[in-house]
Amino acid sequence: MGGADLRKATPEEQYDELTRASVDLHVADDFRSKLRRSYETGKPLVVKTGFDPSRPDLHLGHTLLLTRMRRFQDFGHQVVFLIGDFTGMIGDPSGKNVTRPPLSKEEIAGNARTYREQVFKVLDEKATVVRFNSEWLAPLGAEGLIRLASRYPVARMLERDDFKTRFREGRSIAIHEFLYPLLQGYDSVALKADVELGATDQLFNLLVGRQLMKEYGLEPQVIITGPILEGLDAHLMDGKIVGEKMSKSLDNYVGIDEPPDQIFGKLMSISDDLMWRYYELLSSKSLAGVQALRLAVESGKKHPKQAKADFAREMVVRFCGAAAAEKAAADFERRFARKEIRAEELPLVQVDLGAQNQLFLTQVIAKAKLAGSSSEARRLIVQGGVKLNQEKVSDPRAQVGAGEYLLQVGKLRAARVRVR
């Protein structure tokens, strides 16, 4: 990347876009200074983001960090996607009140492969440097690890909230957990990072990196953290978006590997207020562009449904491609806005009866993956959210035998189910 890439926007314009929707910024003046120097010299900033390969299946909430990384790429800076294959064997205790079990080398390798397959749905693969921290941490050896540990006091380590709580309550803290922030900090030394990105619950670890860089005579990195994304069911209360974080266990998520029509449909289900939150955090639109769009909606020049459809389409393009996005948008309009469902276009799911003559419908729904569990399926039936062959089901103990059925669960999920 050359100087021309770095001069697509002024340092101040870059600052506004790169810090949008951030939670922590250490230190703003340092960041402005780094951006000005990069702009003037044409030398890109080295932007580091570390991922422990412990969660291989990513949802929209995980892409907040990737989206900020992509903004740095779009301005011409050098993004390093760091896979913590060495630190993954320790397990980051951030936000945990118990010692987290380490991953095996086999688990780390498998999860790392999945990460690499998924992250380039957001990042520019050609402009991304992928590194593994075992490159410099494994050669440290016992002597190097002791020298590293001598550079950070135990008293400072115990200032971290989770360590402080566990120490006060007499619960176990293993020595190796103290090593995690040190090793993550040493990653920044090895990479000579200008900027490190992370979630807000990582702030302590990122600050350790900033301090260690000073200890090693390097210019300290700038730290930018982002928020945790609220799930699809979040809503506005007293002028603030409130709700549980996006999570698969809460079934309020959008998986980036989900089919295009599901991604589109789920995003069309969010509230208008949550839509603006998602625009700010996830859209590639500039802040000025988002503000202009919001003004158009609030003034009545554009319908909020269209703004929401534009956002849903953008996300499907990002994860599945433009053709899939257009088809998903057209299918949504036909199926949900016009109340049309074409059974022949729905996926066919096989559910085995086993040794039984009939299955509870709740079991069928769960086995067909139209709900996360039988208990969730039961709740949906009680709430009037399940249709069998286009007839609403009201009995949570309803059973079905062998045959083919059109099963609709909620507003967004439907399938042909063959019970045999």
My answer on whether 90 and 153 are in the same domain is yes
The CATH number of residue 368's host domain is: 3.10.290.10
State the maximum Cα–Cα separation within the chain, in Å, rounded to a whole number. Answer: 75
Residue 198 to residue 304: CA distance in whole angstroms: 32
Per residue in 298-345, pLDDT (tens digit) is 999 999 999 999 999 999 999 999 999 999 999 888 876 666 666 656
**408 Cβ neighbours under 8 A, 6+ residues apart:** 341, 386, 387, 388, 390, 414
- Assess whether 245 and 263 both reside in one domain: yes
Per residue in 350-396, pLDDT tens?
Answer: 899 888 889 999 999 988 888 878 888 898 899 888 988 888 999 99
pLDDT in tens, 142-152: 999 999 999 98
Shared domain check, 206 and 128: yes
Range of the domain at 385: 343-419
Q: Which of 38-42, 109-113, 261-265 has the highest mean pLDDT?
A: 38-42
Residue 95 has pLDDT above 50, yes or no: no
Work out the pLDDT band at 208, boundaries 50, 70, 90: very high
Instruction: Give yes or no: residues 245 and 329 share one domain.
Output: yes
pLDDT digits (tens, 9 = 90+) for 3-54: 567 788 999 999 999 999 999 999 999 999 999 999 999 999 999 999 877 6
Same domain, 25 and 141: yes
pLDDT score for 337: 60
5 vs 267, residue with greater confidence: 267
- Sorting pLDDT into bands at 50, 70 and 90, what band is 96? very low
Model pLDDT, residue 102? 66
Whether residue 186 sits in one domain with residue 46: yes
Residues 74, 218: one domain? Answer: yes
Beta-strand pair 403-409/413-419: antiparallel
Strand stretches in 89-185, DSSP E: 128-132
**Full DSSP string of 76-140:** T-EEEEEE-TTGGGT---TT-SSPPPPPPHHHHHHHHHHHHHHHTTTS-GGGEEEEETHHHHGGG
For residues 95 and 163, state if they share a domain: yes
What tokens does 231 get? 């799930």
Of 291, 277, 283, which is closest to residue 231 (Cα–Cα)?
A: 277
Instruction: Summarize the chain as % helix, strand, coil (round to 5).
Output: 50, 15, 35
Please indicate, yes or no, whether residues 145 and 197 belong to a single structural domain of this protein: yes
Q: What is the pLDDT of residue 88?
A: 76
The Cα 104–Cα 90 span in angstroms is 10
Domain boundary among the residues 337, 358, 383 is at: 337
Q: What is the pLDDT of residues 98-110, one digit of tens each?
A: 445 667 778 777 8
Quote the pLDDT of residue 301.
94
In angstroms, the first-to-last Cα distance of the chain is 58
Cite the beta strand spans of 243-390 per DSSP E. Answer: 348-351, 359-360, 386-388
